[in-house]
Amino acid sequence: MAYVIGDSCVACGTCIDECPVGAISEGDIYSIDPEKCSDCGTCAGVCPAEAITEG
């Protein structure tokens, strides 16, 4: 199951650099493309706002 980014995202950019498959896109809050997400969880582990969870 792909990870998702919730409303507590502060758009810091930490997760983008850590995603090994380039599934995260920038915006007011960031988003994860479920088709690209490999469900590795790396993004959730580095998110300082704890905004990333399994979807």
Beta-ladder partners of 25? 31
Query: In angstroms, how far is the first alpha carbon of the chain from the final one?
Result: 6
pLDDT for the residue 14:
96
- The whole-model pTM stands at 0.89
Question: What is 3-54's CATH number?
Answer: 3.30.70.20
pLDDT for the residue 1:
77
Q: Give the pLDDT of the chain (55 residues) as one tens digit per residue.
A: 799 999 999 999 999 999 999 999 998 889 999 999 999 999 999 999 999 999 8
Q: Where are the domains of the chain?
A: 3-54
